[in-house]
Amino acid sequence: MNRPAAQARIEHLRQTLRRHNHLYYVEARPEISDREYDDLYRELLGLETRFPALVTPDSPTRRVGGKPLRQFRHVTHAVPMLSLEKAYHRDAPKQGPQRSQVDLRRFDARILKALPAETIDYVLEPKVDGASITLLYEDGALVLAATRGDGETGDDVTLNVRTIRGIPLRLLTPDPPSRIEVRGEIYMDIRGFTRLNDQLRAAGEDPFPNPRNAAAGSLKQLDPRVVAQRPLCGVFYGVGIVEGIAFATHAQVLETLKALGLSTPRFWWICRNMDEVVRRTAEIYEHEKELPFEIDGVVIKVNNMRLWEQLGTTATHPGYAIAYKPRERAKEAVTLLRGITVQVGRTGVLTPVAELEPVFLEGAQISRATLHNADDIRRKDIRVGDTVVIERAGKVIPAVIRPIPEKRPPDTRPFDFAGHIGNRCPECGGPIARDEGFAAWRCNNLQCPAQKTRRIEHFAGRGALDIEGLGGVVADALVERALALEPLDLFDLRVEQLAELNLGAAEDTRVLGRKNAEKIVAAIERARNLPLGRWLHALAIPNVGEAIAFQIAAVHSDLDAVACSPVLRDIVELHEKREQARIVNPRSTANQPKSESERLARQRQYKALTAGTENLKRRLAGYSLPEVGPVVAKSLLDFFASIQGQRILARLRKLGITTQGRPSQTGGPAAAAAPLAGMTFVLTGTLAGMTRGQATEEIRRRGGQVAGSVSRKTNYVVAGIEPGSKLDKARELGVPVLDEPRFRSLLGG
């Protein structure tokens, strides 16, 4: 393609993408599939890569760009961004119901008095509870976005706002005004907000208290790439400077902004008088749930903009508008914290939940609230038995904000998270741990029924079945949409299902796409034939780590053989016999026989037991199972004997998966097949007990490969003394690192 042809195609692609972006984000009625959109996007990106001179900043491919800023530049607003006069609802029963609108009536009276000759229409619209923003479009291109700041000067947050996909980089019109400043709010919708907080909590970071904070906090991020991950939206309802366009009414502003491709409030009305305003206000609240943002009351504006100047402005608010809160937002309530329960999330994160004495807040009865995490409880010193303040910001789940120490009964103790649950997972009784640097405790048992996501993630992970592309995010989306609740469900997934999987939020969709889906399905298919060791590891049986899995695999033909393994039974039996022998040993100092006859009986038992143990030892001598002790052996046998284990075996049979261990049952116990088949190692540093050549040879003999450099495909880096940069690389990519002893145990002792 030559340059003029490319130019034409690029222009066409950009326009098409802009239109579909608008249909998707602003109008919420997409006309093409995500895949078709992706294809167009990729074509544009490809052309722009070939013809870099044709790249323009308003191209849909240029949303996220630029390095993190050190600080924001200040911007002076040519038209100040004012605050609004407020009319409150007042609960004053003595003065009757009319009293609640007294401020509104007073506003109306003032307008009518100032403009006696005019008929006054009002526009009623929701007061969006977000972070104020002003956007400047010059010749249709977004050139500046700034926060309100103190109303006179704000921060230049252009790079951040460009990442918000619902905000057009170019206005949707062939003949845009030469300049137009549009004003509105940046907000985070409830679903996006809840999801973001879940992510923050899982990462051990502090969640945001409410969506407005989350939106404002996200806008203030210095790194646009972080902002791009935040589910932000914009809604617009006003203008600042305008050139090359004029507006007679506020309704016209709302209609024009919409026509230019900007999101405007879904509900707004022109009202003939204040009575109608009051009626419609009630109507907005009926529709509250349908609005994607939280509302902080309504705003009433004189529709005829030519009258605005005559109505003047004070230092802080314009005379033509008023904000009205028909009911006060019940922000807080006080109640008793009766107990704290702990819930186990899909990823194993343990979340404390407050069990409250039921209380009314925002018209709903509340008996449970979130308590972020253990650190947060300690920091605020919230105790069971405390009287606490709870908050519910709009539609969001209520949270415990703080205790009231003056009301604390004498017998409370500071909250000890791990102690509270007896150091065990409340779901499965498994061990719990706290990752370094993270605020959250986790259940460490991958078999924990609650931990669906983690189980799948582990199953697909490196060293297990190595299903590339199926990481934590995909696993979580699969679990959330119930497409895969257990690892083996992956084998039923179809490309179409995966391709449409949304990894983002409901409004901020980010689908996996067909290509990735095909890759994942192919990797799942490949996993069918991976060797037994990998499968044993993938099943996440308690106490069975990777090295042990490979040792077991080396002496069994397949999973069914492990499930009823005589070798494993021998190991358990050997241990039991030894224990019994220790107890009956007549020479035991701790437990001396009390009579001669008891001594003789015990002598006989002891002899029989030691003969038994000798026999077992002989039987086990041919097997190289250096790390497989009675605990591991029992754990394996128990797992496969359990209902869950039986189900897995049956399902594998149905799926036709035969996990191959050593080549044949007759091939001598220690005749290991290829326990490291399909695995790639990288060696760095000097090993004490073998040369690199020998190490390479040992890996190859077991079916593994040795590579020269570390990549995401590397399964292990073996680090000896004085390791080089490969070790850093491994850490950076999260590739597991083995020291020499662990490497040797992986090789099988």
Which positions from 560 to 589 touch ligand AMP by CB under 6 A, shown as an x/- string? ------------------------------
Question: Which residues are within 8 A (CB) of 406 and not within 5 positions of it... i.e. 6 or more apart?
Answer: none
Q: How far is the CB of 235 from ligand AMP (least distance, A)?
A: 8
CA distance 131 to 230: 14
Residues lying near Zn ion in the complex (CB under 5 A): 425, 427-428, 430, 443, 445, 448
Tell which one of 237, 415, 550, 681 touches ligand AMP (CB under 6 A).
237
Task: List, as own/partner pairs, every contact residues 269-274 make where C-beta atoms lie below 8 angstroms and the sequence separation is at least 24, other chains included.
Answer: 269/123, 269/124, 269/125, 270/121, 270/122, 270/123, 270/303, 271/121, 271/122, 271/123, 271/124, 272/121, 273/108, 273/120, 273/122, 274/101, 274/104, 274/105, 274/108, 274/122
Question: Which residues are within 8 A (CB) of 392 and not within 5 positions of it... i.e. 6 or more apart?
Answer: 330, 331, 333, 361, 362, 364, 366, 398, 399
CA distance 349 to 363: 31
Q: Residue 478 binds which entry of Zn ion, ligand AMP, none, with Cβ cut-offs from 5 to 8 Å by kind?
A: none
CA distance 121 to 88: 21
CA distance 365 to 383: 22
Residue found by looking up tokens 């909590």 in the block: 201
Q: How far is the CB of 297 from ligand AMP (least distance, A)?
A: 9
Q: Is 250 among the residues that bind ligand AMP (CB under 6 A)? A: no
Active site residue 325: no
Which positions from 486 to 515 touch ligand AMP by CB under 6 A, shown as an x/- string? ------------------------------
Residue type, 404: I
CA distance 456 to 480: 12
Tell which one of 21, 59, 132, 197 touches ligand AMP (CB under 6 A).
132
Q: Is 324 among the residues that bind ligand AMP (CB under 6 A)? A: no
Q: How far is the CB of 193 from ligand AMP (least distance, A)?
A: 18
Which positions from 148 to 177 touch ligand AMP by CB under 6 A, shown as an x/- string? x-----------------------------
Tell which one of 40, 233, 257, 299 touches ligand AMP (CB under 6 A).
299
Three-state DSSP at 687 gives coil
Could you tell me whether strands 122-128 and 74-76 are parallel, antiparallel, or unpaired per DSSP bridges?
unpaired
Tell which one of 55, 84, 601, 608 touches ligand AMP (CB under 6 A).
84
Choices 127-135, 215-223, 591-599, 620-628 (CB under 6 A): range interacting with ligand AMP = 127-135
CA distance 749 to 662: 17
Q: How far is the CB of 451 from Zn ion (least distance, A)?
A: 6
**Which residue, 644 or 725, has its beta carbon nearer to Zn ion?**
644
Choices 77-85, 196-204, 357-365, 596-604 (CB under 6 A): range interacting with ligand AMP = 77-85
Q: Is 454 among the residues that bind ligand AMP (CB under 6 A)? A: no
Q: Is 185 among the residues that bind ligand AMP (CB under 6 A)? A: yes
CA distance 574 to 578: 6
Choices 78-86, 243-251, 376-384, 620-628 (CB under 6 A): range interacting with ligand AMP = 78-86
CA distance 19 to 154: 31
Q: How far is the CB of 40 from ligand AMP (least distance, A)?
A: 35
Q: In what order do the strands lie in the sheet with 269-271?
A: 86-88, 321-325, 295-302, 122-128, 269-271
**Which residue, 350 or 676, has its beta carbon nearer to Zn ion?**
350
**Which residue, 19 or 89, has its beta carbon nearer to ligand AMP?**
89
Q: Is 125 among the residues that bind ligand AMP (CB under 6 A)? A: yes
Tell which one of 13, 40, 44, 81 touches ligand AMP (CB under 6 A).
81
Q: Is 127 among the residues that bind ligand AMP (CB under 6 A)? A: yes
How many angstroms separate the Cα of 465 from the Cα of each of 3, 111, 529?
Answer: 47, 72, 10
CA distance 532 to 662: 8
CA distance 361 to 400: 13
- H or E element: which one contains 720? none
Tell which one of 7, 15, 83, 313 touches ligand AMP (CB under 6 A).
83
Q: Is-contact 178 244, C-beta < 8 A?
A: yes
List 67, 86, 94, 127, catalytic entry? 127
Choices 123-131, 225-233, 406-414, 527-535 (CB under 6 A): range interacting with ligand AMP = 123-131
**Which residue, 330 or 433, has its beta carbon nearer to ligand AMP?**
330
Q: Residue 398 binds which entry of ligand AMP, Zn ion, none, with Cβ cut-offs from 5 to 8 Å by kind?
A: none
CA distance 259 to 273: 27
Chain residues binding ligand AMP by CB under 6 A are 81, 83-84, 125, 127-128, 132, 148, 185, 237-238, 299, 323
For the annotated catalytic residues, the residue numbers are: 127
